[in-house]
Structure 1
Amino acid sequence: METSIVGVGVSVSDRFRGVVEEKSARIENLAPRAQQMDIKVTHRAYHSGREDSTVELTVTGKGLPIVRAEAVDNDKFTALDLAVDKLAEQIRRAKDKRVGLRKRPRGAKMDKGAGVISGVDLQPVSADVLKAVATGEIPIITGAADEEDYTPVVIRTKRFDAEWMTVEDAVDRMELVGHDFFLFIDARTDNPSVVYRRKGWDYGVISLTTLAPPQAELVS
């Protein structure tokens, strides 16, 4: 498995590269189809004098869904250890889940004859929520100190290409990236949807019912 290391605000030493090579062997044993592991190390210094390092790991391979994990610590070697542990745990959980599903199906199940999904909580989102996001009533703060609505809480934004998949596949992808939710396009309905973990259920699904925009009335 090849490795690629990028440092943001910090230099990457030969010692760190050596440790990464040792850790990559562990991941390769757990995921033999993995072909590439990208490591991003970001160093941040704060006005208070505190410093920390974030290590982000992304594993890709032919026929292998993307697996991600990250960790933060004031020492980048410790952050690397924590991120590798998370990544390994996510891969193990995904393997155990596939074995469990073969023995005793759980979670989302599709009755092809009836066209009904069971084992998940389906919650359609109203158009009002979508409109509030689109119009800025629910703002996204970048964290810039000169913003009118500045807050120390920074909301990270990421953009990805849309992917069509089943609910079951989305659950698997969520487990592999180590998140509590996963955004996708439901291949059965073409609706934007999110799978997530919830109490009392294995998983939940939130779907947006897409509606055509209202036609403007013609004024004679």
Structure 2
Amino acid sequence: MQITTTFRHMEQSEALKSYAEEKLDRVKKYIDEPITAQVFFSVEKKIRHIVEIVITAKGISTKASEATSDMYAAVDAVIDKIERQLKRYKEKIKAHKPSTDGNGRQISKKIFEAESIDSSSEPVVISTKIETAKPMSIEEAVMQMDLLHKDFIVFTDAGSSNINVLYRRKDGNYGIIEPQQS
């Protein structure tokens, strides 16, 4: 875990820095490596001690802050907040795990050589891969797409059993391509 600490309006403290690093080890069990954590310690009006932690890992980013009259208590409180957020996130992922009951439809993914498409001859296939378009709801597809950092996802609609394509638009919204029944 890569941890950076910043002290604002206060003297640097090795004891406080090592205490925060020790407490941050508790969150490793919830998320995969590599993990980067930024810890900000600040004091306002000499009595308000604020700790803010930003954690970034593969597929997840979380932030929490806490203000108390004691810096060590603030570290404990913010670590508890982060742990609750990560537990909730992990439970959400488990609840939305794609089903492996074989209801998905097989789709073929082909990669073509670019020059062969531009020419008038038959396109040259570089590779072909068979994948399963897993059944899921639109909400699950959005979550999977965000977790995998993809711009689109092909899935089987759990309600209609049709193949759909969900994509991220340039304006930040989502679009869906679904077949029309005639």
TM-score tier, shorter chain, comes to 0.5 to 0.7
Name the residue aligned to 1:109: 137
Q: Which residue of 2 aligns with 1:52?
A: 48
Structure ranking higher on relative contact order (CA contacts 8 Å, 6+ apart): 1
Residue type matched to 1:21 in 2? E
Instruction: Give, in whole Å, the separation in 1 of the partners of 2:34 and 2:68.
Output: 26
Aligned to 1:12: 12
Asked whether the equivalents of residues 34 and 59 of structure 1 are also in contact (C-alpha less than 8 Å), the reply is no
Equivalence map 1:50-199=2 (5 Å): 51-61=47-57, 63-102=58-97, 109-110=137-138, 167-168=142-143, 187-192=167-172
Contact 2:30 2:90 in 1 (8 A): no
Which residue of structure 2 lines up, in the alignment, with residue 28 of structure 1? 28
Tell me the matched-pair count: 120
Q: Secondary structure at the match of 1:102?
A: coil
What letter is aligned with 1:99? K
The alpha-carbon deviation at position 7 of structure 1 amounts to 0.6
TM-score w.r.t. length of structure 2: 0.55
Aligned-partner residue type, residue 168 of structure 1: M
RMSD: 3.1
Please tell me whether Structure 1 or Structure 2 has the larger radius of gyration of its CA atoms: 2
C-alpha spacing 1:5/1:96, structure 2 compared with 1 (3 Å):
same
Name the structure 1 match of 2:110: none
Q: Percent identity?
A: 17
1: CA distance between counterparts of 2:78 and 2:85? 11
CA positional deviation for 1:103: 7.3
Question: Deviation per CA, 1:68-114, whole angstroms, max 9, x where unpaired?
Answer: 1111111111111111011111111111001111279xxx932xxxx
Distance in 2 separating the partners of 1:25 and 1:70: 17
Letter in 1 for 2:42: T
Q: 1:88 to 1:34 in 2, by over 3 A?
A: farther
Whether the 8 Å contact between 1:73 and 1:79 is mirrored in structure 2 is yes
- The Cα shift of 1:192 comes to 4.5
Cα distance in 2 for residues equivalent to 1:170 and 1:56: 29
TM-score by length of 1: 0.46
Deviation at 1:9, TM superposition (A): 0.4
Structure 1 stretches lacking a partner, 5+ long = 111-117, 120-165, 173-185, 194-204, 206-220
Alignment partners' CA distance in 2, 1:24 and 1:92: 15
CA distance in 2, matches of 1:37, 1:77: 17
In terms of fraction of residues, the more strand-rich structure is 2
SS of structure 2 residue aligned to 1:32: coil
